[in-house]
């Protein structure tokens, strides 16, 4: 299987595949005589796994850790559970942040009900007055 076939089967682009190889998320492929990358079913499984993790918004670092845990022969999956729990916490946290943000935005939006001169616009006044409590550090990679 050439890189384009692999990519199509996994629903991503060839560039992404090469990028994952560089990142160590996929093992370096075998090369055919013409120097083209050559893949088998195992590679496809692995790539699908990685893409599934990405679909769940895991970082490359999290995926690396997960792969390492999987490949430790005879290990139990406690580490896997912990990793997933931590990831779920990231998501929960980001949801909470965005809900709070939404409240602030709705409140700001309330301050201007009709079109008027920009000098009188409640939204602009609100943006000028706000005291952006030194913005919280990110505890999550989710933007």
Partner DNA sequence: AAACACCTTGTAGCAACTTCAAGGTCAAGC
Partner DNA sequence: GCTTGACCTTGAAGTTGCTACAAGGTGTTT
Residues that bind DNA (CB under 7 A): 2-5, 12-16, 18-19, 29, 33-37, 54, 59-61, 141
**Residue nearer to DNA on the CB measure, 18 or 126:** 18
Smaller CB distance to a copy of itself: residue 32 or 130? 130
DSSP state of 38: E
Residue in 64, 90, 92 with CA at minimum distance from that of residue 79:
64
In this structure, are residues 8 and 51 in contact, taking their beta carbons and an 8 Å threshold?
Answer: no
Per rule CB under 8 A, is residue 41 in the interface with a copy of itself? no
Assess 72 for contact with a copy of itself (CB under 8 A).
Answer: yes
Question: Which secondary-structure segment (H or E) carries 10?
Answer: helix 3-10
Paired tokens of 95:
């949801």
CA–CA separation, 56 and 76 (whole Å): 22
Question: Cα–Cα distance between 13 and 4 in angstroms, integer?
Answer: 7
- Interface residues toward a copy of itself, by CB under 8 A: 11, 45, 48-49, 51-57, 66, 69-70, 72, 74-78, 80-81, 84-85, 87-88, 91-92, 94-95, 98-99, 101-102, 104-106, 108-109, 112, 115-118, 120-121, 123-124, 127-128, 130, 132-135, 141-143
């Amino acid at each position: 299987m050439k890189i384009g076939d692999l990519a199509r089967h996994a629903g991503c682009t060839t560039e992404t595949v090469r990028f994952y190889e560089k990142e160590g998320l996929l093992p370096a492929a075998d090369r055919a005589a013409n120097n083209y990358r050559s893949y088998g079913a195992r590679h496809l499984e692995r790539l699908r796994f990685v893409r599934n993790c990405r679909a769940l918004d895991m970082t490359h670092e999290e995926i690396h850790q997960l792969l390492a845990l999987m490949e430790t022969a005879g290990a139990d999956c406690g580490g896997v559970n912990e990793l997933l729990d931590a990831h779920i916490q990231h998501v929960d946290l980001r949801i909470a942040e965005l809900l709070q943000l939404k409240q602030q935005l709705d409140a700001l939006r309330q301050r201007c009900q009709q079109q008027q001169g920009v000098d009188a616009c409640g939204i602009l006044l609100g943006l000028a007055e706000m005291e952006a409590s030194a913005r919280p550090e990110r505890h999550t990679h989710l933007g």
